[in-house]
């Protein structure tokens, strides 16, 4: 099923399910892009890639319907003009001193296509609600993630996350290295950890604001934890069609 959450003349937004690859992978399983191309071809349209979402991550996927819109959005992402918000369930009880916190840890590529903080773990410190490195470093790339607690049960915490930079696996690496890995994340967490066992990666691309339009993919029901405040603030601003569902073609 293709779950469309927004549509205009030149832009489409889909609520991507977890466990489905955007592009073809080694598993040989159907990928979302093939289905999308087939559906749009029936309408005389062609999809143009704007950004990617990990296979395990669910939520908002933007697809341009013209090359002009693709170019515009690609530049907007590069300039960091696009505001992105994710929701994650993480291990442990994350408490913040204020309304929000900041993870300020540079990242670099590690072994086997994994990414890591560009310094030993013992150099990571927390001051108030900010995590950063002791001393200066010229290694890695600047990586900033804002976080806000929206619920928890003492064992796990529900966080609203805003990546201020766009590094690969940024949120997953940051949360793991501060000691609160995302549940279901066996790449950056501990695969044999009882605390992390879950049927999927508990990361959801909840909301994106681009060109003054806010597009939201509702939080999956399985993410529910005692919530202090719902992460979606304000009304969805869009002039596109309402939410609709189309059947996936086999």
Please identify which of the residues 54, 93, 97, 153 carries the catalytic annotation.
54
Q: 7 forms bridges with which residues in the sheet? A: 12, 241
Using the structure block, give the residue that is written with the tokens 């086997």: 112
Rounded to whole angstroms, the Cα distance separating 13 from 245 reads 12
Q: Burial, 104: exposed, middle or buried (Cβ in 10 Å; 0-12, 13-18, 19+)?
A: middle
Does the annotation mark 192 as catalytic? Answer: no
Residue 72: phi and psi, rounded to 5, are -60, -45
Which of 126, 221, 212 lies closest to 174, judged by CA? 126
Q: 161 forms bridges with which residues in the sheet? A: 86, 147
Which of 165, 146, 142 lies closest to 79, judged by CA? 165
Give me 83's structure tokens.
């505001």
Which of 180, 21, 186 lies closest to 101, judged by CA? 180
Under 8 Å between Cβ of 215 and 175: no
Under 8 Å between Cβ of 204 and 86: yes
Point out the residues that are catalytic: 54
């Amino acid at each position: 099923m293709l779950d469309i959450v927004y549509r205009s003349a030149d832009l489409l937004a889909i609520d991507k399910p977890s466990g489905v690859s955007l592009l073809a992978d080694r598993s040989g399983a159907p990928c979302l892009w093939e289905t999308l191309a087939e559906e749009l071809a029936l309408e005389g349209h062609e999809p143009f890639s704007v950004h990617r979402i990990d296979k395990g991550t669910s939520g908002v996927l933007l697809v341009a319907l013209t090359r002009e819109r693709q170019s515009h959005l690609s530049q907007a992402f590069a300039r960091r003009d696009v505001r992105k918000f994710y929701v994650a369930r993480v291990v442990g009880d994350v408490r913040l001193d204020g309304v929000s916190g900041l993870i300020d840890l540079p990242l670099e590529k590690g072994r086997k296509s994994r990414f890591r903080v560009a310094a030993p773990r013992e150099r990571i410190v927390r001051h108030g609600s900010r995590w950063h490195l002791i001393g200066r470093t010229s290694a890695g790339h600047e990586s900033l993630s804002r976080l806000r607690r929206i619920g928890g049960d003492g064992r796990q915490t529900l966080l609203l996350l805003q990546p201020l930079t766009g590094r690969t696996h940024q949120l997953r690496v940051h949360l793991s290295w501060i000691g609160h890995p995302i549940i279901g994340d066996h790449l950056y967490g501990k695969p044999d950890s009882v605390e992390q066992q879950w049927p999927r990666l508990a990361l959801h691309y909840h909301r994106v604001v681009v060109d003054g339009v806010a597009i939201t993919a509702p939080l999956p029901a399985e993410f529910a934890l005692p919530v202090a405040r719902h992460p979606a603030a304000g009304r969805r601003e869009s002039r596109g069609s309402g939410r609709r569902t189309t059947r996936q073609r086999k």
